[in-house]
């Protein structure tokens, strides 16, 4: 293939639509924008200093993600969380997390183990200080590392989608310190299996972790 000058001209920064998407998505996941809250497109465009075109593009993507809902007379609102459907989300997470961790154990290296240990240390430090605000994102970081180590982009994307949905759900019922310490212990069991390079043990530890946490969520909410 002949060399073409255009092949090196891809932008190095995100588009305005990408930036709007990231901003809105983060606000929804962290609870700054709550379920049912209306999105004023004109006001959002003014606040972000962009035209309505990137706003519309970002909104369409977020609708596809299930984070926004567009109704004829209600306009664009943050999608409601279907608590019944969340059971399916937890089941899907258990299946994906088990597979991801098994694959990660087959490819485990020092970089992955160091990354997981670093996240664990950060989570433990937060807990020791009595702080929990950063724990949901740190927990997501732990599972992102595993999904990325699986070697499959689709599994990383599915993991991200599930983590995002569960984080939104948990805004209405945050974990207490005792539950977060249980999360840390369950993470340690996963890391121990990874250090041994044992895919089956790692998968079993991941399955126990996700099933245990799903049990807390479902039992706490009927």
Question: How confident is the model over 21-44, as pLDDT tens digits?
Answer: 888 888 888 888 888 889 888 888
Instruction: Say which residues have a Cβ less than 8 Å from residue 200's Cβ, sequence separation at least 6.
Output: 102
Q: Where are the beta strands (DSSP E) in 16-74?
A: 68-71
Distance (Å, rounded) from C-alpha 112 to C-alpha 124? 18
Whether the Cβ atoms of residue 78 and residue 68 lie closer than 8 Å to each other: yes
- Residues 50-75, mean pLDDT to the nearest whole number: 86
pLDDT band, residue 9 (cuts 50/70/90): low
Better pLDDT: 100 or 80: 100
pLDDT tens per residue, range 101-130: 999 999 999 999 999 999 999 999 999 998
Whether the Cβ atoms of residue 100 and residue 155 lie closer than 8 Å to each other: yes
- Residues 203-214, mean pLDDT to the nearest whole number: 93
* Tokens at 146, concatenated: 């595993």
């Amino acid at each position: 293939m002949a060399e073409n000058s255009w092949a090196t001209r891809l932008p190095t920064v995100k588009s305005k639509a990408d930036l709007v998407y990231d901003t809105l998505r983060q606000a929804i996941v962290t609870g700054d924008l709550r379920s049912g809250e209306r999105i004023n497109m004109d006001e959002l465009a003014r606040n972000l200093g962009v035209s309505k075109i990137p706003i519309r593009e970002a909104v369409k993507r977020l609708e596809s993600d299930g984070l926004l809902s567009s109704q004829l007379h209600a306009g664009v609102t943050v999608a409601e969380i279907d608590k019944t459907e969340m059971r399916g989300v937890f089941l899907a997470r258990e299946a994906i997390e088990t597979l991801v961790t098994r694959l990660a154990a087959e490819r485990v290296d020092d970089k992955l183990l160091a990354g997981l240990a670093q996240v664990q240390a950060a989570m433990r430090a937060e807990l020791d200080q009595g702080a929990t605000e950063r724990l949901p994102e740190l927990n997501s970081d732990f599972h992102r590392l595993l999904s990325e180590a699986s070697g499959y982009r689709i599994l990383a994307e599915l993991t991200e989608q599930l983590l995002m949905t569960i984080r939104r759900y948990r805004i209405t019922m945050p974990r207490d310190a005792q539950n977060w310490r249980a999360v840390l212990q369950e993470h340690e069991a996963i890391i121990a299996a990874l250090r041994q390079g044992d895919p089956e043990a790692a998968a079993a530890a991941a399955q126990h972790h996700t099933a245990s946490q799903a049990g807390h969520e479902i039992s706490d909410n009927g």
